[in-house]
Amino acid sequence: MTASKSSRARKARAQASAARSGTTARSGSAARSGSTAGSGTQVKTGTQVKSGTQVKSGTAGTTPGGSTNGSATVKAAGSPRTASASRNGAGSGNVQTRSGSRAPVPGDELAGSAPAAGTTVPLWLQLTTFLLALAGLGVSIYLTIAHFTESTLAGCSETSGLVNCTKVTTSPESYVFGIPVAVLGLAFFVFAVAIMSPWAWRSTRREVHLVRLASMVVGIGFVIYLLYAELFVIGSICLYCTSVHVITFVLFVLTMFAAAAWGLGPARQTS
């Protein structure tokens, strides 16, 4: 009787021990605390992920029954965060990178405003200044040839009145620093033709427009000196010289107007 009771007690203890071992195995096989989910791995519901790890968008979590969830729960720094992603690659069309920054998506550039195009001088002003520079160059070439050949200027009076081209072109004031004024005018208009061309007006280099402005300031200053010499020192004027003075003055006005209205070169682009 006693032996059978002892036998039954041992069997009961063995069954209880086997039940406890099976329960521990089942509870430990579910998920181990501290396991890390790598990029692109499947995370089971209830599995804890080590703090600091990241799960890519699109990671699918599976339930014990094998059904696929659209979200995976990640525990980071003690607070759960849900990173969900739809199968078609995020419903809003945005892609989330590992660093948390938003990757560019085709078509995003159309959402914002396009950069403003640079403002240029109108074509009529470009052509006007270019043609005036060519006209000044032609007159300067003729005056230079007349100076070195000592020929009489066509259509210019040589009387003792106010208009006397020969008196002006042969006066001491027709030289500046030993250089004939006609040669200086020729060099100025050769440069003016280049700087007043439409290609120079459309240049994106600010230096080109600054040089144009500076050359016109120097040119108008020289014209003022020549006018003073003709009217107050020589006492006569030259029609060809006067035409060059007028052309230089108009170029100066148009250049200043362009700088005031459209700035020195194309406008800066803003994003």
Separation between Cα atoms, residue 195 and residue 208, nearest integer Å: 8
CB atoms within 10 A of CB 257: 12
Q: Which sequence spans correspond to the domains of the chain?
A: 123-262
Question: What's the pLDDT at 122?
Answer: 93
In this prediction, residues 18-47 reach a mean pLDDT of 44
pTM: 0.55
Assess whether pLDDT exceeds 60 at residue 246.
Answer: yes
How many CA atoms lie within 13 Å of 108's alpha carbon, on the beta-carbon side?
9
Separation between Cα atoms, residue 71 and residue 221, nearest integer Å: 79
Assess whether pLDDT exceeds 80 at residue 51.
Answer: no
Closest by Cα among 228, 267, 269, 253 to 116: 269
Question: What's the pLDDT at 214?
Answer: 96
Residue 157: pLDDT band (50, 70, 90) is: low
Question: What's the pLDDT at 7?
Answer: 64
In this prediction, residues 13-23 reach a mean pLDDT of 63
Q: Which residues of 186-211 are buried (b: 16+ CB within 10 A; e: fewer)?
A: bebbebbbebbbeebbebeeeebbee
Assess whether pLDDT exceeds 80 at residue 154.
Answer: yes
What average pLDDT is seen over the chain?
Answer: 71
14 or 171: which carries more pLDDT confidence? 171
Assess whether pLDDT exceeds 90 at residue 125.
Answer: yes
In this prediction, residues 40-65 reach a mean pLDDT of 42
In this prediction, residues 15-31 reach a mean pLDDT of 52
pLDDT in tens, 128-145: 999 999 999 999 999 999
- Choose which CATH entry (1.20.1440.130, 1.20.1440.230, 1.20.200.10, 1.10.3470.10) describes domain 123-262: 1.20.1440.130
In this prediction, residues 163-173 reach a mean pLDDT of 89
β-strands 175-176, 68-69 pairing: unpaired
Question: What's the pLDDT at 6?
Answer: 60
Question: What's the pLDDT at 242?
Answer: 94
Which range scores top for mean pLDDT: 42-46, 57-61, 79-83, 176-180? Answer: 176-180
Question: What's the pLDDT at 163?
Answer: 87
pLDDT in tens, 180-205: 999 999 999 999 999 999 999 999 99
Question: What's the pLDDT at 178?
Answer: 92
150 or 92: which carries more pLDDT confidence? 150
Among 93-102, 239-248, 262-271, the minimum mean pLDDT is found in 93-102
Residue 89: pLDDT band (50, 70, 90) is: very low
Separation between Cα atoms, residue 270 and residue 93, nearest integer Å: 27
Share of the chain above pLDDT 70, in %: 54
